[in-house]
Amino acid sequence: GPRPARVFGTGSPMNEVTAPLHELMAEEGVADELRVALTLRGRAWGGLTLLRGPGRRPFTTEDADCAAGLGPYLAAALRKFVSGRGRLGGAHGGGLGPGTLLIDDCNWITSATPDARSWLRHLATDPLHADGGRTVTPLWGPLTAARRGDPRTTTCVPTAQGWITVSAQPLDGPLSGHVAATIQPAPADALLTAMSTWYGITPRELAVVQCALEGGRVKQIARLLQLSHHTVNDHFGAVYRKVGVSGRDELIRLLTR
């Protein structure tokens, strides 16, 4: 939207769209919410939500404006944290495969495969979520996109365990209003996209890494991309510095493990 921060609370209008949020806030003992988009140079890097309980002063538009002013600084700090050394690889879920969840129109997880429940235990910060209660945070983006018909319903998400991909798709028929979501370790192609975005990898550097993933050596990459050997090595060196690895083998291990 046009504003990077917004206030929502018990005094906000009640309608078909906001009713589930009113219900959730009442259940959790929250009276007011201030949500801030952490944007930097036209790109959203994450979000911050501040909550206040009943009896506290409600958030105001002045609070929202103040929080919005902090957004770019918090976005820069978040990007630096996520792109810290050793955080790029796919999530290590103890050998877990893709896990699928069914989420109802009130954002409750109604059923899940065994691997999905294991993923929830890895991702949830609250036991309520780990056992299949409310939707965990990494699912919100794809879930929201699927509900509004956005075709981009797969996203690569950084977690404490590494990077995951989350895909969501709305269901029809008897389960209309429900969404099926799949969680799995991020594959190499998704990690390449994340690396390009979060680590500031240039398109030419990315092309060099893609060739390396396909087994190309420096001479082959140089010939394929019509570059000198020195330029290819320079691109590799720039990627190593940005990602925080010591060489090609470590980089490929991060992207393919």
Q: In whole angstroms, how far apart are CA 46 and each of 43, 93, 102, 138?
A: 9, 23, 25, 11
Same domain, 170 and 198: no
* Per-residue pLDDT at 106 exceeds 90: no
Question: Where residue 40 sits, what CATH number does that domain have?
Answer: 3.30.450.40
Which residue is associated with the tokens 């206030």?
7
Q: β-strands 99-103, 179-185: how paired?
A: antiparallel
Domain boundary among 159, 186, 213: 186
In whole angstroms, give the CA distance from residue 54 to residue 32.
Answer: 8
pLDDT at 36: 94
Domain count, the chain: 3
- pTM, two decimals, is 0.74
* Per-residue pLDDT at 73 exceeds 80: yes
Same domain, 182 and 194: no
Give pLDDT tens digits for 147-193: 888 766 788 888 777 888 999 999 888 888 889 999 998 888 888 88
Same domain, 172 and 200: no
Q: In whole angstroms, how far apart are CA 125 and each of 92, 122, 128, 158?
A: 17, 8, 9, 15
| 90 within a domain of the structure (yes/no) | no
- Lowest-confidence region among 2-6, 89-93, 99-103, 230-234: 89-93
| 70 within a domain of the structure (yes/no) | yes
Assign 21 to helix, strand or coil.
helix
| 92 within a domain of the structure (yes/no) | no
Instruction: Say if residues 181 and 142 touch (Cβ distance below 8 Å).
Output: yes
Same domain, 167 and 115: yes
| 87 within a domain of the structure (yes/no) | no
Q: What is the CA radius of gyration of the chain?
A: 21
Same domain, 15 and 58: yes
Mean pLDDT score of the chain:
86
pLDDT at 93: 62
Same domain, 63 and 10: yes
Return the closest-CA partner of residue 197 out of 102, 78, 100. Answer: 78
Same domain, 205 and 179: no
Same domain, 53 and 107: no
| 93 within a domain of the structure (yes/no) | no
For the beta sheet containing 43-52, the strands, ordered from the edge strand earlier in sequence to the opposite edge, are: 5-9, 32-40, 43-52
Give pLDDT tens digits for 201-257: 999 999 999 999 999 999 999 999 999 999 999 999 999 998 888 899 988 888 887
Same domain, 246 and 176: no
In whole angstroms, give the CA distance from residue 154 to residue 167.
Answer: 4
More confident residue, 163 or 135: 163
| 242 within a domain of the structure (yes/no) | yes
Domain boundary among 131, 152, 186: 186
Domain boundary among 186, 201, 226: 186
* Per-residue pLDDT at 47 exceeds 60: yes
Question: Where residue 221 sits, what CATH number does that domain have?
Answer: 1.10.10.10
Question: Where residue 149 sits, what CATH number does that domain have?
Answer: 3.30.450.20
Same domain, 159 and 112: yes
pLDDT at 68: 92
- Lowest-confidence region among 13-22, 123-132, 141-150, 236-245: 123-132
What does the pLDDT average to over 73-90? 80
Same domain, 167 and 198: no
Same domain, 122 and 151: yes
State which residues form the domain around 64: 5-82
What does the pLDDT average to over 90-96? 72
Q: In whole angstroms, how far apart are CA 62 and each of 3, 5, 33, 66, 74?
A: 13, 10, 14, 6, 18
Q: Which residues of 40-71 are buried (b: 16+ CB within 10 A; e: fewer)?
A: beeeebbbbeebbeeeeeebeeebbeebbeeb
Cα 32–chain centre separation:
25
